[in-house]
Amino acid sequence: MKKTCFIFTLCVLASWQAVAQIEFDLNYCYSRPSGQMANNIKGVHGLNLGIGYKISKTPIAIGLDIGLGGYGYQTQRQTYTFANGSTTTTNVNVSNNMTNLMLKTRIYYPTKAWVQPYIQLRGGLSYFYTNLTIEDPQDVDDCHPLESTILRSSYNLAGSAGIGARIRVGERFAIDISSNYVAGGRVSYMSLNKATTTATPTGDVSAEFINTTNQVVHKHHVGYVYETPIRLFDWRIGMSMNF
């Protein structure tokens, strides 16, 4: 029985090797908003992780893209009150972030040259959220914050189309560069600064703190909330590996 299972496993692996090749991508990504979104977000810096399966004897690869980026960060000193009434003064960090989870399809130009162009289509979810973290003064690496919470979040469907190229630098390695346009439904997100144009905020975001002198709870203003369609141009550069 064990011998039969072993032979079956080898057959499956051999069949898989015959029909597909695994691609792994890790890229730095810079996204520049356009349209209404450009009034509130200047730019998004992040990393993109992709995995794909290139079907043998075809120019097509299908897979998954995960993108993590940030577009605003702010640190302020605040007094934090514990449940037992004791207090400490520490850093309060507010970060604005964007996460994409998308299925992708690539169509490569059939060539054996050291530069291989491709077109790429993606579709999935785009998630915007604002995270508040209160640092622990006793934890210099901030591995265990006193508190961490999402102040605001919003998501919607999004899709993108773009072009790129893989520049071979070895049998299994390549430099991957691409440019994409991303468009999606309306999302609400936070901006640290009020827009300088005629864009009107739909609300604001505040965090609650306690005054240690009079024990009065006060709200600290963090930023403004805007709601616009997702519109982004993104440029990527990184490494690609084949297995």
Q: Is the pTM of this model over 0.85?
A: no
Identity of the residue numbered 131 = N
* CATH assignment of the domain containing 165: 2.40.160.20
Query: What's the pLDDT tens digit per position in 117-133?
Result: 999 999 999 999 998 88
What would the two tokens of residue 5 be? 């299972």
Query: What's the pLDDT tens digit per position in 75-117?
Result: 878 776 666 777 777 788 889 999 999 999 999 999 989 999 9
Q: Which residue has the higher pLDDT, 229 or 18?
A: 229
Q: CA-CA distance, 55 to 17, in Å (whole number)?
A: 10
Query: What's the pLDDT tens digit per position in 168-189?
Result: 998 899 999 999 999 999 999 9
Confidence of residue 163 (pLDDT cuts 50, 70, 90): very high
**Least confident residue range of 3-12, 32-41, 48-57, 158-167:** 3-12
Residues 6+ apart with CB under 8 A from 92: 75, 76, 77, 78, 80, 132, 133, 134, 135, 207, 220
The whole-angstrom distance between residue 235's C-alpha and the CA centroid of its chain comes to: 13
Confidence of residue 204 (pLDDT cuts 50, 70, 90): low
- How many domains does the chain divide into? 1
Confidence of residue 149 (pLDDT cuts 50, 70, 90): confident
Segments forming the whole domain that contains residue 188: 2-242
Single out the residue of 55, 60, 59, 57 nearest to residue 22, CA to CA.
55
How high is the pLDDT of residue 135? 79
Residues 6+ apart with CB under 8 A from 238: 25, 26, 27, 28, 48, 175, 176
The percentage of the chain sitting over the pLDDT mark of 90, rounded to a whole number, equals 51
Confidence of residue 18 (pLDDT cuts 50, 70, 90): very low
